[in-house]
Structures are given as C-alpha cells and as structure tokens.
Structure 1
C-alpha cells in the first residue's frame, strides 16, 4: 500500500520547477555567442574550416596569411607565451590543441572556439583592427600569446 505524506505534492512540484529552471538557464558559460563549437564557424567574416584531403584550394578560397599553432600540455604553453605580430588586413588562423577541455578566446575580436581535450580547435579571421590583443584559454585562464596587429 502506498501512502503519500502531506505536502509531498507541493515538494515534488517545487523540485520539478527548480530542475526545469536550472535546465533552462544553464550555468551561463554556454551563453557566450562568441564561442563556437568545433563544427561551427566562428563569429567572423571568414569561416573557419578544417581542410580535408578532398578539399583543394580554389580561387574562391582565401589563402591564410598567418597560421599560428599552439599546444597546451600539463598547463604549459608551447611555444612559450610571447608576442606574435601580423599585418593589418592579413587572414589569420589560430589553432590550439589542449590536453584538457577548454575554450579559446581572442580578445578584441571577440572570437572563440571550444577545445575538446586532444582535439584541435581553430578560429580564422581578418586582422582588421590594429592593436595588442590577448589570446587565452577561458577555463584555465592561460595566456597563449599576445597578438600585435600593425
């Protein structure tokens, strides 16, 4: 025989409402529109793609002027943190591989990419703003390098 305690319906309704509200709002980290999943293009005028053997350069595919590759292992950045200078107007691709899941962020351009553990994540953009911009990871807060656009 099943006996329901007084107020158990109210408790169940409150618990269900709380869980629904939490699921609807999330933790807030996924709300940043500048962070793209690896399969989605970053928020820039030039889409970021991972080339495959079937892809071949064509007249409509812009050539990357500067490829910057960074690896993170045991919280160590390789190459070591420093400054990378590019010319204004250059097409830049930043590819990062981390041994732990994280998010890549390019300050000033408000670009980002998810970094699943061991899987490269990339952003590609036209360096159309001059200045000094920090490139970092979101979760571990590691500064990967400072991008200088002249």
Structure 2
C-alpha cells in the first residue's frame, strides 16, 4: 500500500509548478520571459571614503560601454525612430533602451530577454550579440514591433 505523506504532496506540488513554468516559457501575450525591472547600471561596493561620490557617477563608471546603444521612444503608439532593421556585429555588447508613454514590456526574441517599461521611465536590456540571425524586438502589451535586430 502506498501512503501519501505531506512531504510527498509538497514535493509533487513543487514538481508540478516547475513543469508548468517550463511549459509556459516561450513568447506569448501573457508570458514573462526573464523580465528585468527597469535597468539601473550595476554598482560595486564602494569604500566608506568614496561616500562623497554621487550614486549615478559611480554607477556610470562601473558600467562597461556598450559597443552599440539603441534608443527607442514610443508615444501614442508611434515608434521613434520608425520600425526598421538595425545591424550589429556578432560579439558586440548591445544595449537597447526604450521609453514608452504607457506601461509595457520590452522583449528581444531569440535572446529571450525582457524589461518592464513603466510609463515614462526608460527600461533597458544589455547583452552580448552572440547569436547570428534576424531577431524581432517588440513590446508585448501594445504589440508594437520596435525594430528587427540583424546580427552578422
């Protein structure tokens, strides 16, 4: 006879949750792929003597410069610059920054990267373009294609 203990039920529930999360990954209207909060450049712990330095200055100094900075603004469902293709070289460090007038979510297909876009606040993703091909960069809620990223 097999007896189901509370520990067994907890393990089974955890396994079911993990399986459900894995099945729901992929691009879709309701998914949440590797979503980051609006990015703030990473900062390193500073010694107490560096307390006079402003946080933004130390954050900028510790962030490596992107090889390619792509900036997009969305206002009244209009994408600026207009939707098109942006080409980058394989291996380049790419930073995409998007500011939207409505809350949304940025998603980079193929790299499965995303960022929340609170209304009026820039959100960014940064990644090494290590996969060649054509990748759509879009918003999920408003379903706007921002541009197509070409990595060569």
- TM-score after normalising by structure 1: 0.68
Root-mean-square deviation (CA), in Å?
A: 2.0
Query: 1:66-101 CA distances to partner (integer Å, 9 max, x unpaired)?
Result: 000000000000000000000000000000000000
Separation (CA, whole Å) in 2 of partners of 1:116 and 1:133: 23
| Residue 125 of structure 1, CA deviation | 0.2
Q: Does 1:49 align with 2:41?
A: yes
Shift of 1:49: 1.9
Query: 2-side partners of 1:149 and 1:37: how far apart?
Result: 25
The number of residue pairs the alignment matches comes to 112
1:1-150 matches, within 5 Å, as 29=30, 32-38=32-38, 49=41, 52-57=56-61, 61-150=63-152
Give TM-score scaled by structure 2 length.
0.68
- Note closer, same or farther for the CA distance 1:145–1:50 as it changes in structure 2 (3 Å cut): farther
Q: Is there any run of 5+ residues in structure 2 with no aligned partner, and where?
A: 1-28, 44-55
Cα distance change, pair 148–80 in 1 and its aligned pair in 2 (3 A)? same
Indicate the structure with greater helix content: 2
Q: Which has the larger radius of gyration?
A: 1
Runs of 5+ unmatched residues, structure 1 = 1-27, 40-47
